[in-house]
């Protein structure tokens, strides 16, 4: 890329990069170094050739095991070529509309203690129980809405997960047992609507849940995020991936993915506990 050395070396020297945060500029520096190393010998003609896009794609796809990194690298490449095109150095940006490898999920969306307490403070009793069931069992909304009293003994909840068909036997924690004991058995299902005490429909539950979240000032957290929250709580309590999976029905790989995604909350705490265990040896 020697012919476009200015944009690849310091693209934020131009006005459209001056407002980038320092961290963002450092990230660009790192990827620009990679670009320079991989494609620094390409000419202007090469950078305009359709065949080169194939080479760029192969370079990006080689990072497919790190989809966020791959997408960021491609975005940086596209910005460099866009810089050259905007300044008349290139006639075309062959890295436009490259698509994304990363498909977002919600593994990093976790309800912290403040979120949970804020919700419980304003939610009706029917939704409080739904919250407690979710954080103590780690089960999906669909399975909890169908949960029957007949599946709950004094100390165990037994169910077959609708999505995977996995059978799980969940020991009932003392706090959850106390919550269940407060609930009258007015319907076949454990969870019932607030007013008429009938089994929830999925849409009806979602509407009521969103309303309670709004009243609690909670944004960008869903009921489904409580499943990952349960995994994180169990890990912080010292449970192994196998123990967590036995309770929630997650595959161990998925348990690890959830914990890896939640780097802003549980991971530092897990690291602290690891050091404490090491010091105790």
The model's pLDDT over 219-272, given as tens digits with 9 standing for 90+, comes to 889 999 999 899 888 888 888 888 998 999 988 778 877 777 653 344 566 666
Predicted confidence (pLDDT) at residue 102 exceeds the cutoff of 70: no
Distance of alpha carbon 259 from alpha carbon 240, whole angstroms: 11
Are 234 and 138 a contacting pair, CB within 8 Å?
yes
Distance of alpha carbon 190 from alpha carbon 196, whole angstroms: 14
* Lowest-confidence pick of 51-60, 65-74, 110-119, 258-267: 258-267
Distance of alpha carbon 265 from alpha carbon 138, whole angstroms: 18
Distance of alpha carbon 95 from alpha carbon 216, whole angstroms: 44
Global pTM exceeds 0.75: no
Helical H runs in the chain? 5-9, 22-39, 44-48, 50-61, 67-86, 113-122, 125-137, 141-146, 174-181, 202-216, 225-236, 241-248, 252-261, 266-279
Distance of alpha carbon 234 from alpha carbon 236, whole angstroms: 5
Show the CA angle centred on residue 167, arms to residues 108 and 230, nearest 5°.
Answer: 25
Distance of alpha carbon 54 from alpha carbon 67, whole angstroms: 18
What are the tokens at 58? 């192969």
132 or 20, which is more confident:
132
Distance of alpha carbon 2 from alpha carbon 163, whole angstroms: 54
Average pLDDT in the chain: 84
Q: Is 66 left (phi over 0), alpha (psi -120 to 50) or beta?
A: beta
**What's the Rg (C-alpha) of the chain?**
26
Distance of alpha carbon 145 from alpha carbon 179, whole angstroms: 16
| Cβ partners under 8 Å of residue 89, min gap 6 | 3, 4, 7, 44
- pLDDT for 265: 47
- pLDDT for 23: 45
Distance of alpha carbon 34 from alpha carbon 40, whole angstroms: 9
- The CA distances from residue 132 to 116, 206, 212, in Å, are 9, 16, 15
Distance of alpha carbon 238 from alpha carbon 123, whole angstroms: 30
Distance of alpha carbon 78 from alpha carbon 33, whole angstroms: 15
Over residues 21-34, the mean pLDDT reads 71
Distance of alpha carbon 209 from alpha carbon 204, whole angstroms: 9
- pLDDT for 53: 93
What are the tokens at 198? 């009938």
How many residues can be counted in the chain?
281
DSSP letter at 200 equals P
- pLDDT for 275: 67
Distance of alpha carbon 119 from alpha carbon 113, whole angstroms: 10
Distance of alpha carbon 136 from alpha carbon 248, whole angstroms: 9
Over residues 110-137, the mean pLDDT reads 95
């Amino acid at each position: 890329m020697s012919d476009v050395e200015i944009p690849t070396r310091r693209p934020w020297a131009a006005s459209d990069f001056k407002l980038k945060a320092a961290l963002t500029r450092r990230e660009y520096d790192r990827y620009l170094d990679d670009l320079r190393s991989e494609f620094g010998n390409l000419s202007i003609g090469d950078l305009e050739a359709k065949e080169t896009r194939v080479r760029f794609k192969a370079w990006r796809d080689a990072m497919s095991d790190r989809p966020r990194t791959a997408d960021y690298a491609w975005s940086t490449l596209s910005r460099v070529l866009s810089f050259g095109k905007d300044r008349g150095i290139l006639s075309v940006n062959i890295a436009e509309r490259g698509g994304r490898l990363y498909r977002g999920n919600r593994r990093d969306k976790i309800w912290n203690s403040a979120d949970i307490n804020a919700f419980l403070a304003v939610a009706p009793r029917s939704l409080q129980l739904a919250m407690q069931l979710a954080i103590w069992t780690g089960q999906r909304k669909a399975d909890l809405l169908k949960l029957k009293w007949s599946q709950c003994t004094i100390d165990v909840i037994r169910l077959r997960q609708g999505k995977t068909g996995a059978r799980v036997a969940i020991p009932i924690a003392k706090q959850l047992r106390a919550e269940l004991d407060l609930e009258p058995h007015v319907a076949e299902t454990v969870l019932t609507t607030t007013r008429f005490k009938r089994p929830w429909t999925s849409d009806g539950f979602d509407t009521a849940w969103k309303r309670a979240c709004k009243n609690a000032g909670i944004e960008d957290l869903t009921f489904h995020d409580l499943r990952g929250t349960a995994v994180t709580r169990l890990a912080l309590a010292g449970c192994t991936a196998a123990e967590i999976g036995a309770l929630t029905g997650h595959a161990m790989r998925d348990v690890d993915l959830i914990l890896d995604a939640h780097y802003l909350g549980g991971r530092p705490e897990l690291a602290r506990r690891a050091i404490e265990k090491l010091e105790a040896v």
